[in-house]
């Protein structure tokens, strides 16, 4: 891959990663609930899902999913339902005035698993990568090295944007979690955002 093509890829990845979505909401929720440093576990889960999406497209399965209305719709509704479930859980999360932030930090594995599922159950990501990746692949050259560079670039840019962008932005809201009313408000806001994204995923074609 030429330097100019790679730089174009970096710019495209920045635009994509900076667009707010379920991954950004999940990252900010993790940063508020478990701290900036520990939010990396959810981000890593999201990156594994991106790697899977790229692998699916590279294997040609993405084309099958994009053409199969039943498969696409099934995955889309499962993903939407999962986001709504996360939103309902956030809305119903208990707010204990005596609980300190250090005591409510979530273990790494649930954060990683949730990040993985949030991105993995989005079939539009597969279709997007199906349209996006070929722009940066030269079919007359070995494909494996090109997909390796693509994957590394997509993952690196997304980690930087999620961790130093959205997770850092959430730190500005951290002072609200010091009060019970603030924690309740944030639960409602992020719970509603999860539900809203889930509903949009189910409704928008």
Domain boundaries, the chain: 22-203
Cα dihedral across residues 74, 79, 80, 81: positive or negative: positive
Q: What is the pLDDT along the chain (205 residues), one digit of tens a residue?
A: 788 888 888 888 887 788 777 888 899 889 988 889 999 999 999 999 999 988 888 887 666 666 777 776 777 787 778 778 878 887 887 766 444 444 467 899 999 999 999 888 876 677 677 767 777 777 778 888 888 999 999 999 999 999 999 899 887 776 666 667 767 777 787 788 778 877 876 776 5
């Amino acid at each position: 891959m030429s330097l100019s093509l790679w730089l174009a890829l970096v710019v495209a990845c920045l635009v994509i990663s900076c667009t707010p979505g379920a991954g950004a909401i999940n990252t900010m929720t993790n940063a508020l609930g478990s701290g900036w440093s520990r939010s990396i576990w959810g981000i890593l889960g999201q990156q594994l899902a991106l790697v899977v999406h790229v692998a699916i497209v590279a294997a040609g399965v993405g084309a099958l999913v994009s053409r199969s209305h039943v498969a696409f719709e099934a995955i889309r509704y499962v993903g939407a339902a999962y986001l709504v479930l996360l939103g309902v859980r956030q809305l119903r999360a208990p707010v204990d005035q005596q609980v300190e932030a250090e005591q409510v930090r979530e273990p790494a594995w649930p954060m990683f698993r949730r990040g993985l599922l949030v991105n993995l159950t989005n079939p539009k990501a597969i279709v997007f990568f199906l349209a996006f990746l070929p722009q940066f692949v030269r079919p007359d050259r070995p494909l494996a090295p090109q997909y390796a560079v693509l994957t590394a670039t997509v993952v690196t840019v997304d980690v930087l944007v999620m961790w130093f962008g959205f997770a850092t932005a959430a730190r500005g809201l951290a002072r609200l979690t010091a009060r019970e009313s603030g924690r309740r408000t944030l639960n409602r806001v992020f719970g509603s955002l999860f539900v809203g994204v889930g509903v949009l995923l189910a409704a928008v074609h």
